[in-house]
């Protein structure tokens, strides 16, 4: 029998007087707690709710499984409904008014499929690396390419923000709201949404606004679309429309630019990180991204259908702004339908202002090592919030300049996005194939094939724009 080990003499054990070991553990715990930030605690709370829902879920359609999806949904829906912004919706409207639905309805579905391929890669990057897109580019490709991608993002985001505020101003002008009041109200809303100090609250409020993008669906129904024509268009994909080649290619490019843009890469990856998603959340993230792409595609086709009456009745929409579109549609879809159209443009602009300015702030914080989370209170993350609000305020100021050429700015913004996308996709593909970063979640053959096809299509679109600009009659028939 082994000898009994007696307790050391002159040593007491009580809760009031802890042992040396427990005292050290307590001190370490206090030190660790002292290092935790508001951001860490909020994200840990969100992850605890996810873990609880995952452990209790039984079956694909159980209540806890649905709760788990509800907890993880967000970045994918927001990135696509955020990209269904004022310039995009007006681009869709201009397309429907000028050329009907024959070629463009199935083309919209193709572009959103391209968008899903791209955004699925950013989802995986964020969930696996827990780092934002800008930070990864700087770390993996160096300062030069990091600054190049940042410059690309900042320029594109700022020009897009200008167009978003134009959309807000034009949408509210249908209701007689003065431009100064419209722009000021939009800025106040942005301020209210971003200063909650909580990513979860920001995400839910923004999603609530984003789902209002669906107001284009009742507007389309009020236009009494020809469903047989839509069915034939989706089934047969009518040939490229006749008309001015330069204008058609510009519309095609703006349509692509309305669904695949650089800010989307930076936003979704950073939002996935801010949400605290893990590799095991990737399937739910894919479903979230697919849902966002599907909803956005339906809404885009709805905008096309809503303005198709202008095409059928030969009404020129060359110089229409948001309010003018709504006014021109009123005889065909009624005052309620026209009001819904104007509200849709307003909503599209507001959601995009919030998401696009947030993507700029995320990238700035990642690159310069400052706080870059919506879980940080304002006093801790003020540089992040200053960039977010500063970019929005600067764009809003430019919008108040009288006689801004709305449709031209909107189309050009989307074209710039198309031309800027190939280098952004090149970085994305290299990062998604980096085995050291991604491990088992790196791109497989089919993911690479799809990514390369999307990149080639965007390059061809950009070259096509350049050719038709130099030789405007080359596609004329």
Task: End-to-end CA distance of the chain: give it in Å, rounded.
Answer: 103
Name the range with the highest mean pLDDT among 29-43, 126-140, 239-253, 369-383. Answer: 126-140
- Per-residue pLDDT at 408: 65
- Per-residue pLDDT at 8: 41
pLDDT category at 4 given cuts 50, 70, 90 is very low
The CA-based diameter of the chain, rounded to the nearest angstrom, is 103
pLDDT category at 371 given cuts 50, 70, 90 is confident
Beta-sheet strands, E only, within 207-272 = none
Task: Give the dihedral of Cα atoms 344, 86, 92, 460; nearest 10 deg.
Answer: -150
User: Is the distance from CB of 357 to CB of 85 less than 8 angstroms?
Assistant: no
- pLDDT per residue over 84-118, tens digit each? 888 788 778 877 777 778 888 888 899 999 999 99
Across the chain, what does the average pLDDT equal? 80
- pLDDT per residue over 275-291, tens digit each? 989 999 999 999 999 99
Q: Does residue 187 surpass a pLDDT of 80?
A: yes
Name the range with the highest mean pLDDT among 10-19, 141-150, 344-353. Answer: 344-353
- Per-residue pLDDT at 415: 65
Tokens at residue 286, please?
A: 């894919």
The span from the CA of 417 to the CA of 163, in Å, is 13
Q: At what angle do helices 86-99 and 282-312 cross, to 10 degrees?
A: 40
Q: Residue ranges of the domains in the chain?
A: 78-308+321-470
pLDDT category at 57 given cuts 50, 70, 90 is low
Centre a 10 Å sphere on the Cβ of residue 476 and count the other Cβ atoms it contains.
13
Percent over 90 (pLDDT), the chain: 25
78-308+321-470, which class in CATH? mainly alpha
Report the sign of the C-alpha dihedral through residues 450, 456, 459, 464, in that order: negative
- pLDDT per residue over 232-252, tens digit each? 888 888 776 666 666 677 777
Q: Got the DSSP string for 373-424?
A: -TTS-TTTSHHHHHHHHHHHHHHHHHHTSTT--HHHHHHHHHHHHHHHHHHH
Report the sign of the C-alpha dihedral through residues 275, 440, 80, 458, in that order: positive
Name the range with the highest mean pLDDT among 190-199, 307-316, 439-448. Answer: 439-448
- Per-residue pLDDT at 472: 57
- pLDDT per residue over 412-433, tens digit each? 665 666 667 778 888 899 999 9
- pLDDT per residue over 70-82, tens digit each? 889 999 999 999 9
| Phi, psi for residue 250 in degrees, rounded to 5 | -60, -40
- Per-residue pLDDT at 12: 40
The span from the CA of 284 to the CA of 257, in Å, is 26
- pLDDT per residue over 5-30, tens digit each? 444 444 343 444 444 555 555 554 45
Centre a 10 Å sphere on the Cβ of residue 367 and count the other Cβ atoms it contains.
19
Q: What is the DSSP-derived secondary structure letter of residue 16?
A: S
- Per-residue pLDDT at 78: 94
> What residues contact 178, with CB distance under 8 A and at least 6 apart?
none
Residue in the block written with tokens 């849902």: 291
- Per-residue pLDDT at 259: 78
pTM (global) more than 0.85: no
The pLDDT of 387-397, averaged and rounded, is 88
> What residues contact 434, with CB distance under 8 A and at least 6 apart?
140, 442
- Per-residue pLDDT at 476: 52
- pLDDT per residue over 463-477, tens digit each? 666 566 556 555 554
């Amino acid at each position: 029998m082994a000898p009994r080990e007696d307790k050391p003499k002159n040593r007491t054990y009580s809760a009031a007087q802890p042992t040396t070991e427990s005292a050290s553990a307590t001190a370490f715990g206090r030190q660790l707690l002292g290092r935790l930030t508001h951001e860490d605690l909020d994200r840990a709370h969100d992850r605890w709710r996810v873990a609880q829902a995952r452990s209790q879920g039984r079956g694909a359609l159980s209540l806890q499984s649905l709760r788990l999806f509800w907890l993880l949904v967000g970045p994918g829906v927001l990135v696509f409904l955020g990209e269904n912004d004022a310039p995009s919706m007006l681009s869709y409207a201009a397309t429907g008014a000028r050329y009907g639905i024959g070629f463009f309805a199935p083309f919209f579905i193709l572009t959103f499929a391209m968008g899903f391929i791209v955004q699925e890669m950013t989802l995986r990057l964020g969930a696996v690396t827990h780092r934002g897109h800008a930070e990864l580019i700087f770390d993996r490709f160096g300062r030069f390419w990091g600054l190049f991608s940042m410059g690309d993002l900042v320029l594109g985001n700022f020009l897009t923000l200008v167009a978003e505020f134009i959309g807000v101003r034009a949408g509210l002008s249908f209701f007689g709201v003065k431009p100064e009041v419209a722009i000021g109200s939009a800025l106040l809303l942005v301020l209210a949404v971003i200063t909650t100090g909580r990513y979860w609250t920001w995400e839910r409020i923004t999603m609530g606004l984003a789902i209002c993008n669906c107001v284009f669906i009742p507007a389309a129904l009020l236009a009494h679309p020809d469903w047989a024509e839509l069915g034939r268009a989706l089934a047969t994909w009518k040939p490229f429309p006749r008309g001015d080649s330069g204008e058609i290619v510009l519309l095609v490019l703006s349509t692509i630019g309305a669904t695949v843009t650089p800010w989307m890469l930076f936003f979704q990856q950073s939002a996935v990180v801010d949400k605290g998603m893990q590799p095991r959340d990737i399937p739910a993230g894919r479903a979230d991204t697919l849902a966002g792409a599907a909803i956005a595609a339906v809404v885009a086709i709805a905008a096309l259908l809503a303005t198709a009456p202008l095409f059928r009745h030969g009404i020129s929409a060359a110089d229409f702004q948001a309010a003018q579109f709504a006014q021109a549609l009123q005889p065909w879809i009624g005052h309620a339908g026209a009001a819904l159209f104007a509200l849709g443009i307003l909503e599209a602009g507001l959601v995009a202002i919030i998401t696009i300015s947030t993507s700029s702030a995320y990238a700035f914080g990642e690159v310069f090592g400052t706080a870059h989370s919506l879980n940080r209170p304002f006093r801790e993350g003020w540089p992040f919030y200053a960039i977010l609000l500063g970019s929005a305020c600067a764009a809003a100021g430019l919008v108040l300049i009288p006689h801004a050429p709305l449709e031209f700015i909107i189309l050009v913004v989307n074209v710039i996005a198309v031309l800027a996308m190939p280098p952004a996709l090149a970085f994305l593909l290299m990062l998604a194939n980096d085995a050291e970063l991604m491990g088992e979640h790196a791109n497989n053959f089919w993911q690479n094939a799809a990514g390369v096809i999307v990149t080639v299509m965007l390059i061809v679109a950009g070259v096509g724009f350049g050719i038709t600009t130099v030789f405007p009659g080359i596609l004329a028939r």
